[in-house]
């Protein structure tokens, strides 16, 4: 056995199709995944490979066409709104475009205040709430005083994504699903965001599903890696194993095609 650790979340035979007949797309095709407690797992694939569709199924935002999701060993039941809310206490997400996931008319304090309320802090005294929000912001090197009364669109993409991490800090879910959290952010702020994400994970012991098209990022952050091509997992294993000794031709291509700085980057393969 790989580990004594508990399996937190597992997906068995997940398939998700869109459309019918000639229009049919199999976005996720019979995928199995086991997520162990405290692990950082990356799912890597090119655009259109089905990563976001799979994340939405795992989050319970869309229904799978077939297959089951198990949470802490029990088949997940999100058939009612109340059960969904209960499930979302355990699993939360950060998306690629931080601006799209938020009501832009909500001020930043209310984004954070909602998190405190969701965790049962609705009746805490105001000072306590401010203290919590200040702590969450300073965790990601943002200043709460400078954010109050601002709207999300007044922040840069990088600051907004850090605010999303502050949100997770307050929500303290058991599992965080991060879907391309840095793909719209420049290389410099990317390092800051990854570091803050990994710091949060270290502090909370949270389990992380990290979704990316960039195999370098996956290598940097994860314990294990799943490679996704056209809706299927074609290779998986430890990050070192998959990335330093890839077996599947698709994995090899993803690695070969990323620009290198230590080894030669061979342009003759395309």
Partner 1 sequence: MAHTMLEVRELSTKYVTRFREDVYAVDRVSLKVEEGRSLGIAGESGCGKSTLALSLMGYYFPPLHYMNGEIVINGKNISGMKPDDVRKSILGKEIAYIPQAAMNALNPTRKIINFIEDVILEHEMYVTKKDIYDRAKKLFETLGLPAEVLQKYPVELSGGMKQRTVIAVSVLLLPKVLIADEPSSALDVTSQKMVIKMLKQLMEAGFISSMIFITHELPLLYNVVDDIMVMYAGQIVEKAPSHSAVFDPLHPYSKGLMGSIIVPEKGLRDVKLTAIPGVPPNLKNPPMGCRFAERCKFVRPECRVSSVSLREASDGRVYRCIIPEAELREAYAREEHKNDK
Which stretch in 55-63, 163-171, 201-209, 253-261 sits in contact with partner 1 by CB under 8 A?
253-261
Residue choice 53, 161, 222, 236 for contact with ligand ADP (CB under 6 A): 53
Count of positions on this chain that bind Mg ion (CB under 5 A): 1
Pick the closer one to partner 1 by CB: 54 or 194. Answer: 194
Pick the closer one to partner 1 by CB: 33 or 218. Answer: 218
Which of Mg ion, partner 1, ligand ADP, none binds 18 (CB below 5-8 Å, type-dependent)?
A: ligand ADP
Which stretch in 45-53, 110-118, 142-150, 151-159 sits in contact with ligand ADP by CB under 6 A?
45-53
SS in 3 state form for the chain? Answer: CCCCCCEEEEEEEEEEEECCHHHCEEEEEEEEEEEECCCEEEEECCCCCCHHHHHHHHHCCCCCCEEEEEECCEECCCCCHHHHHHHHCCEEEECCCCCCCCCCCCCHHHHHHHHHHHHHHCCCCHHHHHHHHHHHHHHCCCCHHHHCCCCHHHCCHHHHHHHHHHHHHHHCCCEEEEECCCCCCCHHHHHHHHHHHHHHHHHHCCEEEEEECCHHHHHHHCCEEEEEECCEEEEEEEHHHHHHCCCCHHHHHHHHHCCCCCCCCCHHHC
Positions that interact with partner 1 (CB under 8 A): 46-47, 141, 156, 158-159, 186-192, 194-195, 213-220, 239-240, 243-244, 253-255, 257-263, 265, 267, 269-270
The residues binding Mg ion (CB under 5 A) are 52
């Amino acid at each position: 056995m790989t580990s004594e650790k508990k399996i937190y979340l597992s997906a068995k035979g997940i398939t998700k199709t869109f459309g019918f007949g000639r229009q049919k797309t199999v976005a996720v095709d019979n995928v199995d995944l086991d997520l162990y407690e405290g692990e950082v797992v990356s799912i890597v694939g090119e655009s259109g490979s089905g990563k976001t569709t799979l994340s939405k199924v795992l989050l319970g935002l869309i229904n799978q066409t077939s297959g089951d999701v198990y949470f802490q060993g029990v088949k997940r039941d999100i058939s009612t709104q109340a059960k969904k809310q209960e499930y979302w206490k355990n699993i939360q997400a950060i998306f690629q475009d931080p601006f799209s996931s938020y009501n832009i008319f909500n001020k930043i304090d209310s984004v954070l205040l909602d998190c405190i309320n969701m965790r049962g802090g609705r009746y805490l005294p105001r000072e306590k709430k401010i203290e919590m929000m200040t702590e969450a912001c300073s965790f990601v090197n943002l200043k709460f005083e400078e954010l109050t009364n601002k709207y999300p669109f007044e922040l840069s993409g990088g600051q907004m994504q850090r605010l999303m991490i502050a949100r997770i800090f307050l929500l303290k879910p058991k599992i965080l699903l991060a879907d391309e959290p840095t793909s719209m952010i420049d290389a410099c702020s990317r390092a800051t965001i990854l570091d803050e994400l990994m710091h949060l994970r270290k502090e909370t012991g949270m389990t992380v599903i990290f979704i990316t098209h960039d195999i370098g990022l996956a290598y940097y952050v994860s314990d294990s890696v799943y490679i996704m091509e056209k809706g299927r997992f074609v290779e998986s294993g430890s990050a070192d194993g998959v990335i330093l000794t890839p077996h599947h031709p698709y994995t090899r291509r993803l690695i070969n095609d990323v620009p290198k700085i230590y080894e030669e980057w061979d342009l003759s393969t395309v």
